[in-house]
């Protein structure tokens, strides 16, 4: 059996401490699920076989299986099961991969996948003491981003900060600060144009008064980016301007078999044609999408010469550039409607965002094949190949 993508929506992505900071992650999830179901009014929610939801932190209001909580808060019947997936930044792309496998094996006909992150509301945590009433002080640890409560048996080189890891990646592949700033500016300009041209109107559900991505800077310039101080090393190349910001948001995807179209009430947008996962040394996580995409393409039976669009999550400009260089592809097909540097990167939601955006770009450009790829902390990468079904219909009409 084959799995298809029927619909994709997301909330606008809000800035850290911004417009969505007052919304719990389980409520963000429920609202994007409701927004998705509004797009397919003929679908009986009771027909959903499974909710698979991505979430990276899970230490606060998103604890205790936020996927199940979101389904209940969205009003889905209690008979619809739900689970939560944690593959850090790749969580919602992993949710789509898991859901697609369930459909391909016949375990499900309709799966609601997606993910959420409120990085603003990620709590501080205290480790439990090994015995009651310890005499010393305890330190609260932020769960917003990066390593925390690290096992001392982990090699030190594995547990460097995300920024330091990418400074090393930039050194290894000789990626200059100028290239990174230019890539970041491109992200803002393309996202600004996409919003102005209405590209995101159907992909984004206004949420709590926020109608557009809050981090897009239409007035950004190379001079402004060049003036920013390095964030991780005094002489480094990574700044707040050429890395993705901390963000809040949620994304949702409706997956189904071909036979499910009548119950869903709409035709599918794209076919999930290949999946790939890869892993390497934790500090080299930014390079992991390279092999993940190669594996996904091999399983789809195509090569880079057939790919018309790529959505690569822009965790950092440097790792994005390294991946694009390694693939040897035309940079202009990558993130043609802006990327995470401008739009934002709420960890558990970003995979769903890039997959939904990829489907939209493929249809807009009438391209057949596309790749969605994402790097993941602790040394992993994921990728999915989509086949645009509208391109096949157009080819059939032309023939």
Spatial separation of the C-alpha atoms in residues 371 and 275, rounded to whole Å = 10
Question: Looking at the chain, how many residues does it have?
Answer: 399
Distance of CA 264 to the CA centre of its chain: 24
Tally of CB atoms within 10 A around 209? 8
How far are the Cα atoms of 188, 236, 240, 331 from residue 181, in angstroms, in the given order? 11, 13, 10, 15
Spatial separation of the C-alpha atoms in residues 62 and 29, rounded to whole Å = 10
Q: Are 53 and 66 in contact (CB under 8 A)?
A: yes
Per the annotation, the verdict on 3 as an active-site residue is no
Per the annotation, the verdict on 202 as an active-site residue is no
Environment class of residue 126 by beta-carbon count within 10 Å: exposed (0-12), middle (13-18) or buried (19+)?
Answer: exposed
Catalytic annotation, pick one of 89, 188, 202, 323: 89
Sign of CA dihedral 350, 356, 357, 362: positive
Q: Are 30 and 281 in contact (CB under 8 A)?
A: no
- What letter would DSSP give residue 207? B
Catalytic annotation, pick one of 3, 188, 323, 375: 375
State both tokens at 373: 């790829």
Per the annotation, the verdict on 345 as an active-site residue is yes
State both tokens at 112: 């609601």
State both tokens at 342: 């401008």
Report the DSSP beta bridge partners of residue 274.
Answer: 385
In the chain, the DSSP E strands lie at 4-10, 14-15, 50-54, 82-85, 110-118, 124-125, 141-142, 247-256, 270-279, 307-312, 369-376, 380-388
Spatial separation of the C-alpha atoms in residues 18 and 125, rounded to whole Å = 22
Spatial separation of the C-alpha atoms in residues 191 and 146, rounded to whole Å = 26
Q: Are 184 and 341 in contact (CB under 8 A)?
A: yes
Q: What positions carry a catalytic annotation?
A: 89, 345, 375
């Amino acid at each position: 059996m084959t799995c298809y993508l029927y619909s994709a929506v997301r909330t606008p992505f809000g800035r850290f401490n911004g417009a969505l900071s007052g919304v719990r992650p389980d409520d963000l999830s429920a609202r994007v699920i409701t927004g998705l179901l509004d797009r397919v009014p003929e679908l009986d929610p009771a027909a959903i076989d499974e909710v698979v939801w991505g979430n990276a932190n899970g230490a606060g209001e998103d604890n205790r299986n936020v996927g199940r909580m979101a389904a209940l808060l969205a009003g889905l019947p209690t008979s619809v099961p739900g689970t939560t997936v944690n593959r850090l930044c790749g969580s919602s792309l992993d949710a789509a991969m898991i859901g697609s496998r369930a459909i391909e094996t016949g375990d499900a006909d309709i799966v609601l996948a997606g993910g959420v992150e409120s990085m603003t509301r990620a709590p501080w945590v205290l480790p439990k003491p090994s015995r009651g009433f310890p005499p010393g002080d305890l330190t609260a640890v932020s769960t917003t981003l990066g390593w925390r409560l690290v096992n001392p048996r982990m090699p030190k080189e594995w547990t460097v900060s995300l920024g330091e890891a990418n400074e090393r990646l930039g050194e290894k592949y000789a990626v200059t600060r100028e290239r990174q700033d230019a890539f970041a500016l491109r992200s803002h300009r393309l996202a600004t144009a996409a919003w102005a041209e209405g590209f995101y109107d159907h992909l984004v559900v206004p949420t709590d008064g926020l109608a557009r991505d809050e981090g897009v800077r239409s007035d950004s310039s190379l001079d402004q980016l060049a003036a920013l101080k390095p964030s991780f090393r005094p002489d480094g190349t990574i700044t707040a301007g050429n890395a993705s910001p901390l963000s809040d948001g949620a994304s949702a995807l409706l997956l189904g078999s071909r036979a499910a179209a009548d119950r869903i009430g709409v035709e599918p947008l794209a076919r999930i044609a290949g999946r790939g996962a890869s892993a390497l040394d934790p500090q080299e996580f930014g390079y992991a999408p390279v092999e993940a995409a190669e594996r996904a393409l091999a399983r789809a039976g195509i090569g880079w010469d057939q790919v018309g669009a790529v959505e690569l999550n822009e965790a950092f400009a440097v790792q994005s550039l390294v991946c694009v260089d390694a693939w040897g592809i035309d940079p202009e097909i990558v993130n043609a409607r802006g990327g995470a540097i401008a739009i934002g990167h709420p960890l558990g939601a970003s995979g769903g965002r890039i997959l939904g955006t990829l489907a939209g770009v493929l249809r807009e450009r009438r391209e057949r094949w596309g790749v969605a790829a994402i790097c993941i902390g602790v040394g992993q990468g994921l990728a999915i190949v989509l086949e645009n079904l509208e391109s096949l219909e157009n080819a059939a009409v032309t023939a």
